[in-house]
Amino acid sequence: MTAGCIWRYGLAQVIITTLPFSAAPSGTSFWLAAGTYKPSACTVCDAPQRALSFSVASGVALYGGFAGNETDLARRDINRYPATLSGDIGLPGSNTDNSLHVVTITAATPQTRLDGLIIRDGNAGNEDGGGLLIEAAAAESSPTVVQCRFIDNRARQGGALCARAAGVRNPVASATFSDCEFTGNAAALGGAYYGEQAQARLTPGFVRCRFRANTSAVNGGAVGLFSQDTQASRGLNEPVFVSCLFSANTAANVGGALYTHNYSEYGGRGDSRAILINCTLSGNTARAAGGAGGTGIASVYTHGSSLGPGPVSITSCILWNNSGGSFFPVQTARGEGITYSLIEEGAACAGNSSSNPRFADPAAGDYWLTECSPAVDAGTTAPLSGETTDLAGQPRLAGRQVDMGAYELQTPPTNDVMVTVRDGNWNDPTVWSCTRIPVVSDTVKVRHTIIIPAAYKGQVKHIQYDPSGRLVFSTGSILQTGF
Ligand SMILES: [Ca+2]
Ligand SMILES: [Ca+2]
């Protein structure tokens, strides 16, 4: 096999060894036909068998989604022809004898690629990274992962994914994950992803990823970060999440979605910092102290760093309806690092709000914005880092400004009819269906008794009345129409 050749695997339901992926030269692509592939054929699996994994060599690419007769990568269909890398060796359906790590990648370039695969049922036991373990040692390890689904993997830390570095000062692990899904993974710390920094630079990027129903037996239902660097040369543990959705994740203790811990307060110099841009965190649960009936502490729980710029940066995000609250920072001010975001409990910094984001149907897992959402056009374009599409692949900028949250409303409010929702004052936003005061371009429908306060001057395009609606003008108030 030579570099650059294409090797197609045309058999479904097969068990293959680790050899092809680990021994292939850089530049080799593997096309995987629909089927389930396992790292071992054992039926009674001992420790050496469980330790086998799909080890992907640097520069090698794995593509899923083929019927087996394609000659063009563009003709694959990852939904119709799913290729699954499964750690469910031994007794089917029992995870106690499964592969420790389904896929391992060590010291790999960004050309190393997992694309259109399902990675599931790894069980690392007391080790980390049940689905995928990325290790940087003497060299950088920064693979590219696209359209992969990590399902039902478990580990001590990082059920689906662990990035770590050891042995060499300042190794780099900056994998990128685009359009991936992390569902049903479990760990003690970081149900889906765990990043541990020790003099390393861990800077993975997650773009348009879904973290759903992952669980942590302790902290960080979806993501856990931990830094413990006591050396003078300081590392960095700084994942970036852009246009990601965190929903229905659960931590038995704190951080229903995300947990960061810096040990700098104990003399180390580690720096764990999660950067969230245009993310939606909703429906996550932190139970605190392991009790199902506990009040819990926060979807985002951070231990601060006295040396770093702050353990979290949240921009153009929505944190809403998380059991145990949105944000609990230890050692940093409550609103620090949060801007242009909708935080249920509020945050003091620029551009933040605390109004109901009016998701389309959150009970059904639909976190798209509706036309009346106060999150529409309320984000900021400043830190977008060049990402031009939202979680649904739609243009990120629609309307006057970037929206808050993972989804961009493509049909911005057209100033259709705003209606009153209760009796009250005209200049009370909560009186109106869009939770804002009408402006000159609005047509409004009055269905209740609405008082125009004394000396108030307002302008609207047009006023309609329901039979139950009336306006009460106070002294000196003016309402102009006909624009
Ligand atoms: Ca099994
Ligand atoms: Ca917008």
- 132 within some domain: no
Measured from the alpha carbon of residue 97, the closest ligand is 1
* Pair (219, 336) in one structural domain: yes
Q: Are the CB atoms for 351 and 340 separated by under 8 Å?
A: yes
Q: How far is the CA of 430 from the centre of ligand 1 (A)?
A: 55
Q: Looking at the structure, tell me whether residues 410 and 423 fall in a common domain.
A: no
* Ligand nearest to the backbone CA of 50: 1
Claim to verify: residue 23 and residue 99 sit in the same structural domain: yes
Q: Separation of 479 CA from ligand 2 center, angstroms?
A: 29
Q: Quote the CA–CA distance of 303 and 261 in Å, as a whole number.
A: 5
CA distances from 340 to 22, 276, 402 (A): 45, 12, 10
Conformation bin of residue 345: beta by default, left when phi > 0, alpha when psi is -120 to 50? alpha
Q: Identify whether the C-beta of residue 245 lies closer than 8 Å to the C-beta of residue 283.
A: no
39: left (phi over 0), alpha (psi -120 to 50) or beta: alpha
Q: 48 phi and psi, to 5 degrees? A: -60, -35
Nearest to residue 245, comparing CAs of 45, 398, 123, 406?
406
How far is the centre of ligand 2, averaged over its atoms, from the C-alpha of 412 (Å)? 7
For the chain, what is the domain count? 3
C-alpha dist (Å) from residue 366 to 282, 362, 392:
11, 5, 12
Q: Could you say which of 390, 414, 438 is where a domain stops?
A: 414
Ligand 1 center from residue 102 Cα (angstroms): 12
Q: Residue 38 Cα, ligand 1 centroid: separation in angstroms?
A: 11
Instruction: Report which of 247, 238, 99 is spatially closest to residue 175, judged by C-alpha positions.
Output: 238
Q: Could you tell me if residue 133 is inside a domain?
A: no
CA of 308 to the centre of ligand 1 (A): 43
Please give the radius of gyration of the chain, using alpha carbons only, rounded to the nearest integer. Answer: 25
Q: Alpha-carbon distance 124 to 133, whole Å?
A: 10
Using alpha carbons, list the distances in angstroms from residue 93 to 6, 48, 87, 98, 218. Answer: 33, 20, 10, 9, 25
Full-model pTM: 0.84
239 within domain boundaries: yes
In a domain, 406, yes or no: yes
* Length of the chain, in residues: 483
Q: Are residues 432 and 299 in the same domain?
A: no
**Closest ligand to 413 CA?**
2
105 and 148 fall within a common domain: no
Q: Mean pLDDT of successive 10-residue segments in the chain (483 residues)?
A: 37 51 87 91 94 94 92 94 95 97 93 97 97 84 95 97 71 87 97 82 89 95 81 71 96 89 59 88 79 55 60 90 79 70 84 88 92 86 80 92 94 69 94 82 87 93 91 95 82
Q: How far is CA 115 from CA 20, 52, 143, in A?
A: 17, 21, 11
Ligand 1 centroid, distance to 406 Cα (angstroms): 36
CA 191 to centroid of ligand 1, rounded, Å: 20
- Same-domain pairing of 334 and 362: yes
> Taking Cα atoms as reference points, which of 214, 230, 210, 232 lies closest to residue 222?
214
Residue 98 CA to ligand 1 center (angstroms) comes to 5
User: Are 409 and 456 members of one domain?
Assistant: no
Closest ligand by atom to 412 CA: 2
Ligand nearest to the CA of 44: 1
The answer on 179 and 105 residing in a single domain is no
Domain co-membership, 255 together with 392: yes
Give the tokens for residue 126: 């007391």
Residue 131 lies in a domain: no
How far, in Å, is the centroid of ligand 2 from the Cα of 213? 28
Whether 161 is in a domain gets the answer yes
- Closest ligand to C-alpha of residue 401 is 2
User: How far apart are the CA of 255 and the centre of ligand 2, in A?
Assistant: 29
Ligand 1 centre to CA of 100 (Å) is 11
- Give 372 Cα–ligand 2 centroid separation in angstroms: 12
Kindly give the distance from the C-alpha atom of residue 243 to the centroid of ligand 2, in angstroms, as a whole number.
14
Identify the DSSP state of 90.
Answer: S
Q: Residue 122 phi/psi, 5° resolution?
A: -75, 150
47: CA distance to ligand 1 center in Å? 13
Look at residue 9 in the predicted model and tell me its pLDDT. Answer: 45
> What is the pLDDT, as a whole number, of residue 254?
85
Residues 381 and 430 in one domain: no
In which residue are the tokens 């685009």 written?
Answer: 178
Q: What is the pLDDT of residue 123?
A: 98
* Residue that finishes a domain, picked among 123, 146, 178: 123
**Residue 128 falls within a domain, yes or no?**
no
Ligand 1 centroid – CA 50 distance (Å): 10
Tell whether 147 and 260 lie within a shared domain.
Answer: yes
**Contact (Cβ atoms closer than 8 angstroms) between residue 358 and residue 370:** yes
Whether 335 maps to a domain, the answer reads yes
Distance from C-alpha of 338 to C-alpha of 335, rounded to nearest angstrom: 6
The percent helix, strand, coil of the chain (3-state, each to 5) is: 5, 35, 60
Amino acid identity, position 294: G
Those residues with Cβ within 8 angstroms of residue 92's Cβ, 6 or more apart along the chain or in another chain? none
Residues 184 and 76 in one domain: no
H or E stretch at 47: helix 47-50
Listed residues 395, 414, 433: the one ending a domain: 414
153 CA to centre of ligand 1 in angstroms: 12
Which range of residues forms the domain containing residue 350? Answer: 138-414
Work out whether strand 359-361 and strand 366-369 pair parallel, antiparallel, or are unpaired: antiparallel
Q: What is the Cα–Cα distance from 9 to 270, expressed in whole angstroms?
A: 44
